[in-house]
Amino acid sequence: MTQTRIILDTDPGVDDALAILLMLASPEIKLEALTTVHGNVNVEKTTRNALALLEFLNARHIPIAAGCSLPLIKSSLHGGEVVHGASGLGGAVFPEPTIKPLHIHAVDYLIERFLTEPNEISLYAVGPLTNVALAIRKEPRIVNAIKELVIMGGAVRSGGNASPQAEFNIYEDPYAAHIVFNSGIPITLIPLDVTYKCLLTSVDVERLNQIDSPIAKFVRDVTVDYMAHYLKYEGFAGCGLHDPLTVAVVIAPELLSFEEHYVNVDISGGESTGKTFADFMKVSKKPANMKVALDVKGREFVELFIERLKKLSLLNKKEIASG
Ligand code: BDR
Ligand code: CA
């Protein structure tokens, strides 16, 4: 099987952690590296969480480069502690990781990796786009070296989750998103329009926990407060599988319905800053700059997610228990 080679730019984050689990559970994917960014919590914490998670999963061989601590222009972080918990990983507790990040900044790491092997590796970005935008500005040749850029971000027809109009990853650094969207990199966008149709419930989590494994228990611990937040503020018993849904682009693209559109981000500084909008009626006459997922077979994706995590739980049970 030819594997899709992926570098994941991430801000773990509950659903980031679930995306990492799903990638490691998917034989179609070779997860080659993680780069971390500010977002759900600060970059020190997102980096610590990434290291701790890979150590827990016996995936110490995957390198991690720490990235930007602040957005390009905004001087403060909105942050996601209220959703993802103070550590960023809800109620999951890990010991201090013994593995360390690389001695290279994430932006330089991305440039080096993509320029060394042009068009061989895909970049998945599931946090604010600061690292990716800076890499484009520092080394514009990266634009032609990234095979595909899959982004979890934006709310195209749906409302926002960070402001009434803006989705969190884009809202956190709209200027970075503006640079990335207009860069010419082949982009696939997975916005809230589809991720909110992929709801993991506590019943699903308990189905997974029929297997007595550290991974299944981790999924329960990491999601319990996240689900409580969704129930309190959004009125449903479950949580959106935002970042994990990017993995469907490789493992189950038939579950997603895509359209090609010109999509941009509002950086006007007004109330709708961070809003992503698509030129559905082609009035701007601008060529499409990305493929946008606008529908998904949500329950089928959640079932696939559970099936993959069950297999991972069984596979790694012994290894992790003795690790
Ligand atoms: C996105 O925002 C973050 O809180 C999640 O990790 C996800 O990447 C969803 O809007
Ligand atoms: Ca994320």
Distance CA 203, CA 279 (A): 39
What SS3 class is residue 153?
Answer: coil
Using CA positions, which residue lies closest to atom 2 of ligand 1?
Answer: 168
Ligand 1 atom nearest to 16, measured from its CA: 6
Give the catalytic positions in this structure.
242
pTM of the model: 0.96
Structure tokens, 180: 């990335």
Q: Is 319 exposed, middle or buried (0-12, 13-18, 19+ CB in 10 A)?
A: exposed
Which residue owns the Cα nearest ligand 1 atom 10?
A: 168
The protein residue whose alpha carbon is closest to atom 4 in ligand 1 is 40
State in Å: Cα 321 to ligand 1 middle. Answer: 30
pLDDT tens for residues 279-292?
999 999 999 999 99
Asked if 167 contacts 123 with a C-beta cutoff of 8 angstroms, the reply is no
Rounded Cα gap, residues 35 and 63, in angstroms? 8
Per-residue pLDDT tens digits for 4-49: 999 999 999 999 999 999 999 999 999 999 999 999 999 999 999 9
Across the chain, what does the average pLDDT equal? 94
Tens of pLDDT, residue by residue over 105-140, are 999 999 999 999 999 999 999 999 999 999 999 999
Whether the CB-CB separation of 181 and 265 falls below 8 Å is answered with yes
Closest CA to 20 of 121, 126, 103, 97: 126
SS3 category, 280: coil
15 CA: nearest ligand 1 atom = 6
**Domain 4-322 class?**
alpha beta
